Structure 1
Amino acid sequence: MRFMFAVFNRARKIVLTATAVAATAVLSACNPGTITGGGPTINTSKPVPVALLVPRGSAQHGDDVLAKSLENAARLAIADLNGVQVDLRVYDTAGNPQTAANAATQAVQDGARIILGPVYAEAANAAGIAAAKRGVNVLAFSNNSSIAGGNVFVLGSTFDNTANRLTQYATRQGKRTMVVVSGNNAAGMAGRAAIQQAAVQNGVTMAGNVSFDLSQQAVINAIPTITKSVRQSNADMLFMTATTSGALPLLSQLLPESGIKTTDVQYVGLTRWDIPAQTLALPGVQGGWFALPDPAKSEAFRARYQATYGAAPHPIGGLAYDGIAAIGALVSAGNSEALTGAALTQPAGFQGTGGIFRLRPDGTNERGLAIATIQDQKVVILDPAPRSFPGAGS
């Protein structure tokens, strides 16, 4: 899948790679709140028209596989709905904003009462603008918070959510001072901003901030600066935005060699450190912390998908399942305003493919994540994913 980063005018949107969000087979609403305003009404006695926008037809390698996985997951969710019928219509966007806008317009004209997708930020934004003209909400598969708002909600796990979860856990373990290490690209900058915000919200001192260009030599050159920053500030936490396919392998090798031992400073990763599996063998990630969806529910969805389709789902295929099943859970209450913004953002949220999640009024989301570490090249859960949101009931 392509490295989905793009920066837009007025710093409006940054596309972030979607991390693996695989999941469980059952999804339901928890105590839906008052359902009013912010979207079209539906006829609950008839199948609910839902449009699915996928990146099929793009020139980007892997997009057709992603599109098929999203469609398969959506249909799997439809099969699991009890008493709710969904009329799913699939539209190809070719990963292109204008095509996505045209598809959204056509979908609404065809009667869609809600839109799932697209994946990429520019396309999701374009689809959202087109759908807004008819008051239809869009549940995009992006994890880019900056495209959220109005009638656009993002389903992917966001940097803000992950950074906050990890920082909250760190403070409970007595960690109070961090140095942030990030790449000089859109993802790195977005990740750094999310970590900074989480530090402020949780009373953690950000004692240093070291960035590097995306090249092997630049990473090597940054090591002395990172080492100095950690030692001078006496930081007890080193928070990195690097990915396993990017700078993480090199950082996790060179930093311990430079004297920043994992036994003295807590390494923390904003991205998944368990994918691919080879990463688990890196000496520098042993004992590090990262966040991930509820492993049991993720594996249950993966197994269910594999048994049904004969192959593993795409890492973000579960987002389509989440979207369909959330729709089904809300519609099952029999309220004609089940797909309004007020309904979609009910505080109790939903049980999704990787655990609980809820959509926020600002279009972002919150997902219940587990805190994991790596011990003896194996993933160990330190703090399980929550089963419900505080005060929301279930």
Structure 2
Amino acid sequence: MMFRRLLPLLLAATLAACAQPKVSEGPAASQGNPATAQSDTWVTRPGEKEQITAAPQGAIEPQPLDPATPLPDAGPAPVLPPPVVIGGGIKIALLAPLSGRNAAVGQALQNAGELAVFDIGTEGFVLLPIDTEKAGAAAAAQEAIRQGAQAILGPLFAAQVPEVATVAMPANIPVITFSNDRMVAGPGVYVLGLSPLQALERTIAFARNRGYTDFAALVSDDALGVRVGAMVQEFIPASGGHLAKVETYSAGTNDFSSVARRASGGAAKEKTGPGYRALVLSESGPKLKQLAPWMPYHNIDPALVKVIGTPTWDDPSLGSEPGLAGAWFAAPDPAGRAAFEAKFRDTYGRVPPRVATIGYDGVALLAVIARMTNGPNFTPDQLTNPSGFAGVDGIFRFLPSGISQRGLAVFEVQRGGGKMIEGAPGSFEAVVN
């Protein structure tokens, strides 16, 4: 019952605080000419086009996904403020890239955490920002323990999580990573970032409820694509659907005409459908815009096939792609973060990157637990309570496996941006996915 009171407590506190292929035959260049688009990873990096409707053009916009490549140089390391201290006693380490190429993202995570301390933290709550880049993630974890941290938030990148966990586990200190990679979750290691796999599962379940039974998947051979391919082979049959095929293509390809033709079975220009009614894609960013025009040309017509994508599709520019008209994707409800973004902008004079919300939610979660009369008690029983917590990006909870589960809304790609067609759940009483 204590955690049933904690969920509305965190919700109320948060709301109050934030109150090269041939193109002579096929799609026109205006629809995303495959010969002119550039390759990219599935994370938006600083300087790319803003993908969230509520944030201004030019903001840093990584979805809560691990960058596949380093972000562009953020310039000199910022001058960091001292740790946020209210009194002294409960110490939480925040491990992030506070110097180097990813310093802008790390600084945003720290700033978001500071907001949560001042909004929710009680007397004696201390936030210890520690850089993971100067001496490495393991050294950062050792410094956290030296300073008496009782829990660790971070690191940002999945590759650093084992380094931190190796240091933290013998000291019985939980690690709540900002990564979204479910593969790094485990005993004492909790993944706070939004997994694209969970978002795809949410949308597939939504499609099943709308009567879609026959699915296919078109995935690249990079890390994300391989995991999406494995997920659909398990999840779709388990949900009562039929998986017709999983088509894989090279992540380095520029011949998206051939990719789309293989996915359709080669029946170009025949409007009878490719033999399935829903197609799951792992692609995003500029390469998605290279692929999209070829899909209807090769019989994957949006009038016949429902396309399903990842949270990175929360991009208003996708509405101009006819091949993605009416496509579905799951993502957090943007209404919850609008006030947070406004407060961050007013406080720090800049628009927060999309990932900043998990910095706020991570600190807020631990601050709420620290308020308990018997706290702080950052044990697995406390962190994995099934009632969950309410944050800027909606409700979330940690499963015993360390994977996080989030309440997500479902959106439809339309001109001008994604339109919400099913809202996010308000509690975990009903099944989220």
Q: For the superposition of Structure 1 and Structure 2, which TM-score range results when normalised by the shorter chain?
A: 0.7 to 0.9
The alpha-carbon deviation at position 201 of structure 1 amounts to 2.7
The Cα shift of 1:84 comes to: 5.3
- 8 Å Cα contact 2:218-2:246 kept in structure 1: yes
Which segments of structure 1 move beyond 6 Å, counting only runs of 4 or more? Answer: 229-233
Identity of aligned residues (%): 28
Q: Which amino acid aligns with 2:203?
A: L
The answer as to 2:238 corresponding to 1:197 is no
Contact persistence 1:213–1:219 (CA under 8 A) = no
* Counterpart selection for 2:182 from 138, 145, 148: 145
Structure 1 residue 47, shift from structure 2 partner: 3.6
Structure 1: unaligned runs, 5 residues or longer: 6-16, 22-44
Report how far residue 123 of structure 1 moved.
Answer: 1.0
Confirm or deny: 8 A CA contact 1:294 1:355 kept in the other structure.
yes
1:256 shift after superposition = 1.0
1:219 aligned partner = 256
Aligned to 1:317: 356
The structure whose Rg is larger is 2
1:123 has 2:157 as partner:
no
| Rounded Cα–Cα distance in structure 2 between residues aligned with 1:280 and 1:233 | 23
Post-superposition CA distance 1:123-181 (Å, at most 9, x none) = 12210111011000000000001110011111001133112211110111000111100
2:47 match: none
Pick the aligned partner of 1:49 from 58, 76, 91: 91
Match of 1:169 in 2: 206
- Cα distance in 1, alignment partners of residues 345 and 254 from structure 2: 41
* Residue in 2 that maps onto 1:248: 288
Secondary structure of 2:226's counterpart equals: helix
Q: Secondary structure at the match of 2:312?
A: coil
Decide whether aligned partners of structure 1 residues 232 and 163 sit closer, same or farther in structure 2, where only a CA change above 3 A counts: same
Q: Which residue of 2 aligns with 1:29?
A: none
Moved more, 258-267 or 76-85: 76-85
Pairwise CA RMSD: 2.5
CA distance in structure 2 between the aligned counterparts of 1:160 and 1:250, rounded to whole angstroms: 23
Give 3-state SS (helix, strand or coil) of 2:216's partner: strand
SS of 1:374's partner is strand
Matches within 5 A, 1:258-297: 258-275=298-315, 277-297=316-336
1:386 aligns with 2:425: yes
Secondary structure of the equivalent of 2:410?
Answer: strand
1:133 counterpart SS class: helix
Deviation, structure 1 residue 328: 1.3
Q: CA deviation at 1:236?
A: 0.7
Give, in angstroms, the shift of residue 337 of structure 1: 5.3
The verdict on how the C-alpha distance between 1:212 and 1:324 changes in structure 2, with shifts beyond 3 A counting, is same
Contact 1:338 1:344 in 2 (8 A): no
Q: Are the aligned partners of 2:64 and 2:179 in contact in 1 as well (CA < 8 Å)?
A: no
Stretches of structure 2 that go unaligned for 5 or more consecutive residues are 1-39, 44-60, 66-86
Q: How many residues align?
A: 351
Report the counterpart of residue 278 of structure 2 in structure 1.
237
The 5-angstrom pairing of residues 356-371 of structure 1 reads 356-371=395-410
Say which of 19, 30, 39 aligns to 2:63: 19
TM-score normalised according to structure 2 size: 0.76
**1:272 match: secondary structure:** helix
Q: Deviations along 1:304-332, whole A, 9 cap, x unmatched?
A: 21122111111211111011101111122
Range moving further from structure 2, 328-337 or 69-78: 328-337
Matched residue type, 1:154:
V
Q: Post-superposition shift, 1:198?
A: 2.3
After superposition, residues 99-110 of structure 1 pair within 5 angstroms as: 99-110=136-147
Cα gap change, 1:194/1:179 in structure 2, threshold over 3 Å: closer, same or farther?
same
| Aligned mates of 1:310, 1:57 — CA distance in 2 | 20
Residue by residue over 1:210-237, the C-alpha shift from the partner in whole angstroms, topping out at 9 and shown as x without a partner, is 1111234342221211111897862110
- After superposition, where does 1:338-377 map in structure 2 within 5 Å? 338-377=377-416
Residue of structure 1 aligned with 2:369, choices 330, 345, 352: 330
Aligned AA (2:423) = P
After alignment, is 98-107 or 226-235 more displaced? 226-235
- Partners of 2:121 and 2:130 in 1: CA distance: 25
Structure-2 separation of matches of 1:163 and 1:198? 10
Q: Is the 8 A contact 2:92 2:149 kept in 1?
A: yes
Q: Which moved more, 1:178-187 or 1:224-233?
A: 224-233
Residues 37-63 of structure 1: CA deviation (Å, up to 9, x unaligned): xxxxxxxx95410001011233x3xx0
Q: Does 1:154 align with 2:191?
A: yes
Asked if the contact 1:159/1:194 (under 8 Å) is kept, the reply is: no
Spell out, residue by residue over 1:275-308, the C-alpha distance to the aligned partner (whole angstroms, 9 max, x if none): 3x33332222220000110110022222221122
Q: Is the 8 A contact 1:18 1:156 kept in 2?
A: no
In structure 1, the partner of 2:53 is none
The 2-side partners of 1:128 and 1:317 are apart by: 22
TM-score normalised by length of structure 1: 0.83
d(CA) in 1 for partners of 2:181 and 2:119?
Answer: 28
CA contact (8 A) 1:273 1:280 kept: no
Q: 1:137 to 1:4 in 2, by over 3 A?
A: farther
Partner Cα separation in structure 2 for residue 321 and residue 129 of structure 1: 25
Counterpart CA distance in 1 for 2:198 and 2:111 is 27
AA of the residue aligned to 1:91: I
